[in-house]
Amino acid sequence: MIMPRGQQLLLPASSLFIWSSLLVALGGNMLLNMGLLGRTAWLPDLLALALVFWTIHQPLRVGMTAAFALGLAMDVHQSALLGQHALAYAVLSFLAIAMHRRLLWFSVPSQAAQVLPLFVVAHALTLLVRLLAGDDFPGWSMLLAPVLEALLWPAVSVLLLLPQKRAPNPDANRPL
């Protein structure tokens, strides 16, 4: 595959970094849910954001199985209907895999606009499962969560790609 003009050559992603970033995102979600605000509908889902990022950039390492397992962990933590987040994360991962080759050709702000529908679908699935189980409608503020996740996409992209952009042994003779 020919790289787009001006794109930096990246080092391989470390499996330890990928999985630790997913666990940190899981912990971040747990802390947001236990914080002062409680479980509010407008808070962004950091784990969904990290899952989409790694599914797009490393689809052979992070896929639907990891998304399903992490979704079950979120369901257990939130005492939600078992499988609610697992279904949403698995569908989110499937959609990210389906568009990962095309998405990497765009700039990061364009990517943010294109992952917004993925986040909308994931939140809509979670809402649908909750409503079918007899839960109350969380309010219209939940429409803000996918927008916040799309707005966080550039920051997450920069943060998670930083370890791959550094030279393994930088010196004056190796600019890559």
Classify residue 10: in a domain, yes or no. Answer: no
Percent of the chain with pLDDT over 70: 86
Q: Is residue 151 part of a domain?
A: yes
Q: Which domain holds residue 161?
A: 15-165
* 44-85 pLDDT per residue, tens: 999 999 999 999 999 999 999 999 999 999 999 988 888 999
- 7 is a domain residue: no
CA neighbor of 57 nearest in space, from 29, 6, 22: 22
Task: State how many domains the chain has.
Answer: 1
Structural domain contains residue 149: yes
What is the DSSP secondary structure assignment for residue 166, as one 8-state letter? S
In a domain, 170, yes or no: no
Whether 130 contacts 160, CB under 8 Å? no
Residue 1 domain flag: no
> Could you tell me if residue 9 is inside a domain?
no
Residue 71: inside a domain? yes
Hey, is 171 helix, strand or coil? strand
Residue 1 scores a pLDDT above 90: no
Mean pLDDT for the stretch of residues 151-165: 90
Mean pLDDT of the chain: 88
Q: What is the pLDDT of residues 90-108, one digit of tens each?
A: 999 999 999 999 998 899 9
End-to-end distance of the chain based on CA atoms, in angstroms? 19
Q: What is the pLDDT of residue 2?
A: 59
Residue 84, amino acid: Q
Structural contact between residues 21 and 47, judged by C-beta atoms closer than 8 angstroms? no
